[in-house]
Structure 1
Amino acid sequence: MDKNESKNKVIISSLIIATILWFVIFVVKPFNFWIEMSASILALVTIALFSDKNLISFSNIKLRYILIGIISAIILYFVFYAGNIISGYLFPFKDAQISSVYSNRVQGSSLLIGILLMFIIGPGEEIYWRGFIQKNLTKKFGENKGYILATLLYSGVHIITFNFMLVIAALVCGIYWGWIYKKEKSLVPIIISHAIWDFTVFVLFPLI
């Protein structure tokens, strides 16, 4: 078995695992949501690192990346702020589905949730979805097709949660962060962006 075939099997296997984990976290809910999510993200990152030991590299951190991360997080928050208002007119079930996600905030203090979002969940999602999945799909199918396929997979995994608003949110985020990664070829700006956005939308300024 060559390296490419082996990596393809790891990608497919990890996506199946991600789908199962998302089902357990969002539907079965056997334990604390934030601990489950953090452990799941760490598991996916570990799988990715076993397949690609050079996956994470922060040796070339530029001021540009930091600024892009901060500014893009602010922009995305206001995109969701506006989307939250607009979707209220389009989808009568919007409030119930978004509330079901925000209800997980009672399972931890703001400090704990903020730490997990900023340092594990947000960065881990970008390392796995963009750094591993999108990067390898880009190598296999080309830059644009890899970006589109990775975005569809990222949002598609959320279908198993049976939460339409969460799927749409994942699609928007996948398009947004995937595009930044495609343009900048670095995980630094999207890790910063995802971490700040997560903290803002869940802890600092929740949308509901």
Structure 2
Amino acid sequence: MKNIAADVRFIGGLFIAHLLMYFTFQDKSIFWYIFSAALLFLISYSIIMEEVEDKASFGTFIAYGALSGVLLYGVFWLGYSLINLLNLPFLDQVDKLYGRFSPSLLWHYIVLILIIIPGEEIFWRGFVQKRLMKHANVTLSIVLSSILYASVHLYSGYWMLAFAAFIAGLFWGWLFAWKRSIPLVIVSHLIFDLFMFVILPFK
């Protein structure tokens, strides 16, 4: 595992990701512009540094991606329902997260689908997790990559967003390790986000 500390590409990618995400969350008025640019850069970095993996057929990644996206949304819906039922003091954070980071204009949805969702999966699963898997076992790689994925969301100022990213990261990390298909995980992420922001948002 100590060899990962000497992986210049890995360390450099994490440094760049943290730097870009720090600036992404600083100003709500330009959030979508900076977020889109940041993910475009991370996509380019990932593709240059690591081969994009896809070992699933078209039918497999569409079917498994869609089903897993609905399943993950269901897990989040149960969590939100429990918070609501117990009247826990987290509901205001959910409302604030939707108010600050939800897509609201047509171009937001376009970049979400074409840049942000693919970019997050290509970088965090296809680059970060894949390189970790070269130095550690699968379980440890999934957990560590999920922690790293969650860590950049702390710049938002909302711990709940970081926690949600950690849970989603574990799910998508396991899915990638199982099927070794970035397109599959992208479809899963896309379906999840469509439910979260369009079909059945939590507000």
TM bucket, shorter chain = 0.7 to 0.9
TM score, norm. by length of structure 1: 0.85
Query: Which residue number in structure 1 is paired with residue 184 of structure 2?
Result: 189
Does 1:11 find its partner at 2:10?
yes
Query: Which residue number in structure 1 is paired with residue 64 of structure 2?
Result: 68
Rate the CA distance shift 1:58–1:5 in 2: closer, same or farther, 3 A.
closer
Shift in Å, 1:32: 2.5
Shift in Å, 1:141: 1.4
Query: Which residue number in structure 1 is paired with residue 166 of structure 2?
Result: 171
Shift in Å, 1:187: 0.9
List alignment gaps of at least 5 residues for structure 2. none
Contact 2:4 2:132 in 1 (8 A): no
Aligned with 1:132 (options 109, 127, 132): 127
Shift in Å, 1:16: 2.1
Query: Which residue number in structure 1 is paired with residue 38 of structure 2?
Result: 40
Shift in Å, 1:100: 2.5
Shift in Å, 1:182: 0.9
Does 1:51 find its partner at 2:49?
yes
Contact 2:55 2:181 in 1 (8 A): no
Look up the SS of the partner of 1:141 in the other structure.
coil
4+ residue runs of structure 1 moved beyond 4 angstroms? 4-7, 57-60
* Distance in 2, Cα, partners of 1:124 & 1:7: 25
Aligned with 1:200 (options 191, 195, 198): 195
List alignment gaps of at least 5 residues for structure 1. none
What is the count of residue pairs matched by the alignment? 200
Rate the CA distance shift 1:23–1:65 in 2: closer, same or farther, 3 A.
same
Shift in Å, 1:73: 0.8
Contact 2:55 2:179 in 1 (8 A): no
* Distance in 2, Cα, partners of 1:64 & 1:106: 30
Alpha carbon RMSD of aligned pairs, Å? 2.4
Residue-by-residue CA offset, 1:46-99 (whole Å, 9 max, x unaligned): 1222222xx23558533122111000111111111111122343741x223222
Contact 1:119 1:195 in 2 (8 A): no
* Distance in 1, Cα, partners of 2:82 & 2:63: 29
Contact 1:127 1:187 in 2 (8 A): yes
* Distance in 2, Cα, partners of 1:78 & 1:15: 30
Amino acid in the other structure paired with 1:116: V
Rate the CA distance shift 1:46–1:6 in 2: closer, same or farther, 3 A.
farther
Residue-by-residue CA offset, 1:140-172 (whole Å, 9 max, x unaligned): 112222122111111122223221110111011
**Identical residues among aligned pairs (%):** 32
TM score, norm. by length of structure 2: 0.87
